[in-house]
């Protein structure tokens, strides 16, 4: 096991009716701005609950943070926040609203230009922020990461900073999600775990099992949720899986990969593919191309998550990769670039971008532009 | 799933050589007192590492916190701490030193008498404290609980308060633990998980699997550690299992039991039985007596942790209980009161104490003095 430091100070406030606790959770005497997406919270009753919980308190609202939040939009929120001397942000929405709010928090706290903060990779300072989560997927509600897009150049990069002070997770907000949203959310959670798990074996028995525990749970609840989308306990499991998939609890002392995310982000940046969907396309191909390096873990994964015990090592690895693709398809997602009308031009563009940046990704630092190209060719 | 709030702010600093980070972890300008047990840290090199890491900083030392820390000892530390205007405590030792330090932290911060704080069950205020852990077992390094004994009345109770600000866990400190210490540590960790897991089924797929992940890992590493007690990775797994067994991560949104601990504490209070050992004696009997209530979970536990799939439900439950006792014995611990020379007098005394307190324990609140008696009779 590698040395590590784990600290996750976010207060997770989980369950039915917990939005009503907002007033006691947000410090008094702060200048509060609430950030929103496109308006779904008005249709699903969350906006009403938030406003009711904050009855008697003053706040301003910023609307319009889009999916894969654009720095161009967030700059407006930063300017408004500075003007209004905002010192506490509440994100009400999904991972995009949360990620965007993390950049707003940094932009208000610092003089640096917003995109420069993203390019630097971390925020030195942020004003405090918290969230009411409405779409379980990214894990942003309990980590310090944020992924921001720049529309004018079709770029998408991550930066890191503070965690939300608290996040309210009410599984009932999932009742109004579309089947595609749930599919992308489950895919996102599942893939987050794979990025931290399909690596070198034998680093930590316990972290392996905690990762497998999320994978097994997601595989189990996915078909049940499809049939019964308003089942409270299924949504609670879904929500908890998504949060714990990316809050550092399953990566204590172990290596990570993130190849699929690096390539998936490019698909989103260039084609607007939903994040969780882009991962479903890339992950099985990444497994195939890196199968020798990941042989042992793929065998363990196949056996423990999908019960694959028959056949030669090669056959079992092949079955594990196929089971992964089948799982993503069972969610209702396509898993091939061609199904999304994405062709060679994009593959060449991504290869070029990776090569130009001159950084290789993955657990072993061996995923160069050319390896990325191989992966993209494998999911054509 | 039940509503819950999860927040664990402790910074876990894990790995080889991490004690050297003490100086940057402890705030400057604090009046520091370091608390110790009986001196094992001088034999295992931890004391030297701590002193070296704090080179150039002033601190006072308090020695002599015993196993199952006595309020009588801790009062002296509180008096010293108040006199010296101590405002930061560093516990260097096992769970007992840590638990004792939590009461010292409360006693210094408040005017209340130390035992009154314990009896109240929680500390309203504590000065900040942190730890260098030397015996993985209790989980005290990453939670707010503390169990204190009162020698003059042979009583032992828990109280709750803040978490350590940070805890340093270097698996190399385990190399000098005795086989009995490791056995009790593994038993403690294993039983902590069972108390949070052998309850009603179907509350959370994920929490079940995270609990099972610790149980499976402990069962796997126990015999390996016995053969190879200076294996770094095995000790790292052991240490991580013990911490994550009782830091709230496996009990989000689920019910808990703690029957075995309530009875085990009495055995320790009356006979000085090591905590982890007392649990090994009580747990299999508690499972037997409450087997109808816990039938479903015992079946799941037997299958997922010990691979028990053959036989009728009754037979499988019986096998799961036997496998539990066999596991404790495999650690080198006895599992019967008679083996420890504990007889009927103690059983009657514990029954009387439970009945006098008039509180029933367990997940369903049905473990009265008479049920405790039944459990004790079953582990004679």
On whether both A140 and A237 belong to a single domain, the answer is: no
pLDDT digits (tens, 9 = 90+) for B231-288: 999 999 999 999 999 999 999 999 999 999 999 999 998 999 999 999 999 999 999 9
Read off the pTM.
Answer: 0.97
Q: For residue A239, give the nearest of A374, A375, A339, A139 by alpha carbon.
A: A139
For residue B3, tell me if it sits in a domain: no
For residue B4, tell me if it sits in a domain: no
Percent of chain B with pLDDT over 90: 97
* CATH code of the domain in which A354 resides: 1.20.1090.10
Q: Tell me what pLDDT residue B359 has.
A: 82
Structure tokens at B66: 């015993």
For residues B97-124, average pLDDT: 98
On whether both B168 and B184 belong to a single domain, the answer is: no
- Nearest Cα residue in chain A from B245: A206
For residue B6, tell me if it sits in a domain: no
Number of helices (H) and strands (E) in chain B: give both, helices first.
Answer: 15, 8
At B358, is the pLDDT very low, low, confident or very high (cuts 50, 70, 90)? confident
For residue A37, tell me if it sits in a domain: yes
Per-residue burial over A322-347, b = 16 or more CB atoms within 10 Å of its CB, e = otherwise: bbbbebbeebbbebbbeebebeeebb
Q: How many whole angstroms separate alpha carbon B224 and alpha carbon B77?
A: 39
Measure in Å the smallest separation between the Cα of B203 and chain A Cα atoms.
Answer: 8
- List residues of chain A with CB under 8 Å from any CB of chain B: 1-18, 171, 202, 204-207, 209-210, 212-214, 216-217, 220-221, 232-233, 236-237, 240-241, 244, 249, 252-253
For residues A65-91, average pLDDT: 97
At A70, is the pLDDT very low, low, confident or very high (cuts 50, 70, 90)? very high
For residue B5, tell me if it sits in a domain: no
Q: How many whole angstroms separate alpha carbon B340 and alpha carbon B281?
A: 10
pLDDT digits (tens, 9 = 90+) for B117-173: 999 999 999 999 999 999 999 999 999 999 999 999 989 899 999 999 999 999 999
pLDDT digits (tens, 9 = 90+) for A191-201: 999 999 999 99
Distance of CA A133 to the CA centre of its chain: 13
Q: Tell me what pLDDT residue B39 has.
A: 87
Q: Are B73 and B66 in contact (CB under 8 A)?
A: yes
DSSP A268: H
Residues of B in contact with A8 (CB under 8 A): 8
What is the residue-averaged pLDDT of chain B? 97
For residues A292-316, average pLDDT: 98
Q: Is the pLDDT of residue A338 over 90?
A: yes
Distance of CA A364 to the CA centre of its chain: 22
For residues B62-87, average pLDDT: 97
On whether both A196 and A282 belong to a single domain, the answer is: yes
On whether both B148 and B196 belong to a single domain, the answer is: no
3-state secondary structure A71-121: HHHHHHHHHHHHHCCCCEEEEEECHHHHHHHHHHHHHHHCCCCHHHHHHHC
Q: Using the beta-carbon criterion (under 8 Å), do B205 and A221 form an inter-chain contact?
A: yes
Q: Are B97 and B90 in contact (CB under 8 A)?
A: no
* CATH code of the domain in which A76 resides: 3.40.50.1970
Q: How many whole angstroms separate alpha carbon B155 and alpha carbon B160?
A: 17
Measure in Å the smallest separation between the Cα of A338 and chain B Cα atoms.
Answer: 35
Q: Given B118, B137, B172, which residue is the final one in a domain?
A: B172
Q: Tell me what pLDDT residue A39 has.
A: 87
Measure in Å the smallest separation between the Cα of B110 and chain A Cα atoms.
Answer: 26
For residues A213-238, average pLDDT: 98
Q: Using the beta-carbon criterion (under 8 Å), do B5 and A12 form an inter-chain contact?
A: yes
3-state secondary structure of B133: strand
Residues of B in contact with A210 (CB under 8 A): 209-210, 213
Q: Is the pLDDT of residue A358 over 90?
A: no
- Nearest Cα residue in chain B from A232: B1
Count the Cβ atoms, other than its own, within 10 Å of residue A319. 18
The full length of chain B comes to 380
Q: How many whole angstroms separate alpha carbon A22 and alpha carbon A13?
A: 10
Q: Are B317 and B295 in contact (CB under 8 A)?
A: yes
At A174, is the pLDDT very low, low, confident or very high (cuts 50, 70, 90)? very high
Domain count, chain A: 2
For residue A96, tell me if it sits in a domain: yes
Q: Given A106, A138, A172, which residue is the final one in a domain?
A: A172
Instruction: Pick B240's closest partner by Cβ from A204, A220, A221.
Output: A204
Q: Is the pLDDT of residue A22 over 90?
A: yes
On whether both A80 and A216 belong to a single domain, the answer is: no
Structure tokens at A364: 């072993």
Q: How many whole angstroms separate alpha carbon B174 and alpha carbon B171?
A: 6
- Nearest Cα residue in chain A from B15: A3
Q: Given B172, B196, B211, which residue is the final one in a domain?
A: B172
Q: Using the beta-carbon criterion (under 8 Å), do A253 and B236 form an inter-chain contact?
A: yes
Residues of B in contact with A246 (CB under 8 A): none
| Helix or strand run (H / E) with residue A349 | helix A344-357
On whether both B288 and B145 belong to a single domain, the answer is: no
Q: Using the beta-carbon criterion (under 8 Å), do A14 and B252 form an inter-chain contact?
A: yes
On whether both B255 and B355 belong to a single domain, the answer is: yes
Instruction: Pick B206's closest partner by Cβ from A5, A214, A253.
Output: A214
Q: Is A62 left (phi over 0), alpha (psi -120 to 50) or beta?
A: beta
On whether both B161 and B250 belong to a single domain, the answer is: no
Q: Where in the sequence is the domain holding B243, given as residue range(s)? A: 179-378
Instruction: Pick A2's closest partner by Cβ from B15, B202, B241.
Output: B15
Instruction: Pick B206's closest partner by Cβ from A1, A207, A217.
Output: A217
pLDDT digits (tens, 9 = 90+) for B277-307: 999 999 999 999 999 999 999 999 999 999 9
For residue A331, tell me if it sits in a domain: yes
Q: Are B246 and B158 in contact (CB under 8 A)?
A: no
On whether both A187 and A145 belong to a single domain, the answer is: no
On whether both A128 and A195 belong to a single domain, the answer is: no
Q: Tell me what pLDDT residue A357 has.
A: 87
Q: Is the pLDDT of residue A359 over 90?
A: no
Residues of A in contact with B6 (CB under 8 A): 11-12, 14
Angle at B363 between CA B361 and CA B365, to 5 degrees: 40
On whether both A21 and A165 belong to a single domain, the answer is: yes
| Helix or strand run (H / E) with residue A42 | helix A40-43
On whether both A114 and A199 belong to a single domain, the answer is: no
Structure tokens at A153: 């150049």
Q: Tell me what pLDDT residue B357 has.
A: 87
Q: How many whole angstroms separate alpha carbon B103 and alpha carbon B74?
A: 7
For residue B1, tell me if it sits in a domain: no
């Amino acid at each position: 096991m590698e040395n590590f430091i784990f600290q996750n100070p976010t207060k997770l406030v989980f369950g039915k009716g917990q939005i009503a606790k907002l007033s006691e959770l947000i410090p008094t005497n702060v200048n509060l701005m609430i950030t929103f997406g496109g308006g779904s919270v008005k249709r699903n009753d969350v906006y009403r609950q938030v406003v009711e919980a904050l009855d008697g308190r003053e706040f301003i609202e910023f609307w319009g943070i889009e999916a894969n939040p654009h720095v161009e939009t967030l700059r407006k929120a930063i300017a408004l926040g500075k003007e209004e001397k905002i010192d506490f942000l509440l994100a009400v929405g999904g991972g995009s609203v949360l990620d965007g709010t993390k950049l707003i928090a940094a932009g208000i706290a610092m003089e640096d230009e917003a995109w420069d903060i993203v390019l630097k990779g971390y925020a030195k300072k942020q004003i405090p922020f918290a969230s009411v989560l409405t779409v379980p997927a990214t894990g942003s509600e309990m980590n310090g990461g944020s992924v921001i897009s720049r529309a004018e150049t079709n770029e998408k990069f991550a930066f890191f900073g503070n965690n939300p002070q608290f996040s309210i997770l009410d599984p009932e907000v999932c009742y109004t999600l579309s089947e595609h949203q749930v599919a992308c959310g489950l895919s996102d959670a599942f893939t987050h775990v794979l990025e931290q798990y399909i690596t070198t074996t034998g680093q930590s028995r316990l972290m392996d099992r905690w990762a497998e525990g999320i994978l097994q749970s997601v595989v189990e609840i996915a078909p049940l949720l499809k049939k019964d989308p308003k089942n409270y306990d299924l949504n609670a499991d879904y929500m908890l899986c998504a949060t714990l998939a990316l809050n550092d609890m399953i990566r204590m002392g172990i290596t990570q990969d993130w190849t699929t995310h690096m390539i998936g982000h490019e698909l989103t940046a260039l084609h607007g593919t939903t994040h969780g969907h882009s991962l479903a396309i890339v992950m099985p191909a990444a497994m195939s191309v890196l199968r020798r390096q990941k042989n042992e873990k793929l065998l363990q994964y196949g056996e423990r998550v999908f019960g694959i015990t028959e056949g030669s090592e090669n056959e079992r690895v092949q079955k594990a990769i196929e089971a992964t693709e089948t799982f993503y398809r069972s969610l209702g997602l396509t898993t091939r670039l061609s199904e999304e009308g994405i062709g060679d031009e994009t593959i060449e563009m991504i290869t070029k971008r990776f090569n130009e940046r001159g950084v290789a990704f993955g657990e072993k630092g061996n995923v160069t532009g050319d390896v990325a190209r191989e992966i993209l060719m494998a999911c054509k």
